[in-house]
Amino acid sequence: MTKSKLLYLALALSLSLGGCQQQPQQTTTSGTQQAEAKVYYPGKGDNWEKKQPEDLGMDAALLQEAVAWAKQQETKQMPKDFSTQEDIFGKMLGSIPSDRASTNGIILKNGYIVAEWGETERVDPTYSVAKSVLSTILGITIDRGLIKDIKDPVANYVQDGGYDSEQNRKVTWEHHVRQTSEWEGELWGKKHDFVGKEEYGRGERKPRELQEPGTFYEYNDVRINRFALSLLRLWKKPIPEVFKDEVMDPIDASNTWKYVPYHNSYVEIDGKRMPSVSGGTRWGGGLWISTRDEARFGYLFLRDGRWKDKQIVSEEWVKEATTARGPVGPDYGYLWWLNTEGKAWPSAPTTSYAALGAGQNTIWVDPEHDIVIVWRWHDGNPDELIKRVLAAVKE
């Protein structure tokens, strides 16, 4: 087995379980408009232009071969009826659909659809891809000035008891999105330690001593769920509503997606009962979304957080979240998987990155080639598809 395949399997396991005065304002605005005119953005709903691969510098036959290969890679991790959900992840806290789509995907080049297969409009759970969504909400939170600095302790902003202990008061926002928080406690009936097969399924872990926040990486949904609750405390508005208002509506996404809370993940804020969401579908719930809407989200990042004439999330945040790996742990940004060492996807540019979830659910972004690939419910190494798609890009 190759080193890249071993790396991918390990990764998949962790997932399963100002300007001056020289120029008049009119000239500046005109230049901006001309630059924007060269960038294609899809319209609302199905108003998304398709182009022949050869019109965008791609070999149509090679691209078709890549798609044909992808169609044969149906996931074996979980059956269509999700009947192994509790065996894999442990006792459920939220709902799960009765079935799901088969493997499907979409490939964008320069924003245009050059390939599409399967039920890409089907709304399905996307598991830990939701973590990259929560990361984006944090970026917007910082952009809005609700948080001064990502290195600030969360306890400076959230006083609900969750950060009162000596261990937890050191946890920063950055620790949360690096998965190095080492937050200690219980949330929605799940403990931070993942000890016990009934509660955590195949993802159960052996007891260990907690480390200093920021010094130890652990992929941990309880801690990400605590992070999501902290964001809710700041916004005082359900995160699904924040995501809709700040991201999905501005990028003309559909209205079919939904962010489903657990049955017991509700809190009272300013006298109102509000749902707190999770960083995945490990215990049910989570972000349920179509492949097409995921492609829009990926394309937003490919365009450095900008959609048409609006900066949805700052370019600075997009760069930090998707290029700067943490001091400990794997090649990981702010809840985005990176390729800075060229190990995750050896065939891909080191500037590429992805949102990944069990299933496997993949949103891969390649700024160098202006490509986004969304590939869902597959059992193949993403690098094998990436290699085939990039082979179709003519020099």
> Residue 23 pLDDT more than 90?
no
Q: pLDDT-based confidence at 20, cuts 50/70/90? A: very low
pLDDT tens-digit profile of 79-121? 999 999 999 999 999 999 999 999 999 999 999 999 999 999 9
**Whole-angstrom distance, CA of residue 186 vs CA of residue 196:** 14
> Residue 1 pLDDT more than 80?
no
> What pLDDT, on the 0 to 100 scale, is given for residue 2?
46
**Whole-angstrom distance, CA of residue 323 vs CA of residue 143:** 18
Looking from the CA of 197 toward its CB, the CA atoms found within 13 Å total: 2
Domain topology for 53-392: Beta-lactamase (3.40.710)
Query: Rounded to the nearest 5 degrees, what angle is found at the Cα of 51, between the Cα atoms of 50 and 53?
Result: 130
> Residue 384 pLDDT more than 60?
yes
What's the chain's average pLDDT?
Answer: 92
> What pLDDT, on the 0 to 100 scale, is given for residue 67?
98
Q: pLDDT-based confidence at 380, cuts 50/70/90? A: confident
Sequence ranges of the domains in the chain: 53-392
Give the mean pLDDT of 225-245: 98
The pTM assigned to this predicted structure is: 0.91
DSSP β-bridge partners for residue 363: 355, 374
> Residue 13 pLDDT more than 90?
no
Q: pLDDT-based confidence at 262, cuts 50/70/90? A: very high
pLDDT tens-digit profile of 165-190? 999 999 999 999 999 999 999 999 99
> What pLDDT, on the 0 to 100 scale, is given for residue 25?
37
pLDDT tens-digit profile of 318-365? 999 999 999 999 999 999 999 999 999 999 999 999 999 999 999 999
Residue 116, both tokens: 């599409």
> Residue 28 pLDDT more than 60?
no
**Residue 262 has what DSSP assignment?**
P
> Residue 37 pLDDT more than 90?
no
Burial 25-49 (b: 16+ CB within 10 A, else e): eeeeeeeeeeeeeeeebbeeeeebe
Q: pLDDT-based confidence at 254, cuts 50/70/90? A: very high
> Residue 137 pLDDT more than 50?
yes
DSSP string of 368-380, one letter each residue: TTTEEEEEESB-S
> Residue 33 pLDDT more than 80?
no
> What pLDDT, on the 0 to 100 scale, is given for residue 313?
98
CB atoms within 10 A of CB 271: 5
**Dihedral, CA atoms, 386, 79, 243, 353, nearest 10 degrees?**
-20
Residue 18, SS3 per DSSP = coil
